[in-house]
Amino acid sequence: MPEPIARSEPGSDAPTVTADTLSAPDGGKLHFEDFPRKVWVEFGHKPVSEAEIVAFAEEFDFQPHHMDPEVTARSLLGGLAASGWHTCCIGMRMICDGYLLRSASLGANHVEEVKWLKPVRPGDVLSGRFMVLDARTSRSKPALGICHMLIELANQRQEVVLSWKVFQFLTRRQPGALP
């Protein structure tokens, strides 16, 4: 397993747990109340190959710097790199496999920001983390919890390659209780 991801922003000194340690009291789906606040939660690992970088680019992000090694060597990326959208898709799959499909998720209404911080190269192994920055109950729908989350993917050198912030909607286990 790769070393923990180095952090320089929110909660860099916060405790860290793994997603498989998140559990619901009844052993069922994870609800709003089960997501810890101000704690890094690590999830998943995904190796990235040259073939999948090129295949994604050929299908969805048809730019030479994601497909042609000669062009990529002269580009700002300095070599073959995954499309940022490919990196987001990898992240979403890691999120689903890591914790989201075990949760009472109702989706998200928007992504607040996406940052592609470093290129993802063939041979990189990505790992993920999230932190609930803030959480509240919906004023209009008390059965709904809203988690403001920071999600990051890092490579095997613990360099953050992608970060995004999202407002995740989750069913509350106890709609009448305060969070």
Percent of the chain with pLDDT over 70: 91
Place of tokens 């890092």: 154
Residue 9 lies in a domain: no
Q: CB 109: neighbour CB atoms within 10 A?
A: 10
- Assess whether pLDDT exceeds 60 at residue 101: yes
User: What is the predicted pLDDT for the residue at 176?
Assistant: 66
Place of tokens 């109340």: 33
- Assess whether pLDDT exceeds 70 at residue 3: no
Decide: 117 and 160 in contact? Cβ < 8 Å. yes
User: What is the predicted pLDDT for the residue at 8?
Assistant: 46
Residue 8 lies in a domain: no
Residue of 133, 149, 135 lying closest to 178 (CA atoms): 135
In the chain, the number of structural domains is: 1
User: What's the whole-number average pLDDT of the chain?
Assistant: 90
DSSP 103: B
Question: Which CATH number does the domain housing residue 70 bear?
Answer: 3.10.129.10
178 confidence band (pLDDT: 50, 70, 90): low
Q: Look up the domain containing 25 and give its range.
A: 16-171
CA count, 13 A, side-chain hemisphere, 108 = 13
Residue 176 lies in a domain: no
177 confidence band (pLDDT: 50, 70, 90): low
Residue 10 lies in a domain: no
Residue 6 lies in a domain: no
Phi, psi (rounded to 5 degrees) for 164: -150, 155
Residue 20 lies in a domain: yes
Give pLDDT tens digits for 40-79.
Answer: 999 999 999 999 999 999 999 887 777 777 888 888 888 8
What gap in Å lies between CA 72 and CA 65, rounded to an integer? Answer: 4
DSSP H/E element including 46: strand 40-47
Residue 98 lies in a domain: yes
User: Which pTM value belongs to this model?
Assistant: 0.88
Residue 59 lies in a domain: yes
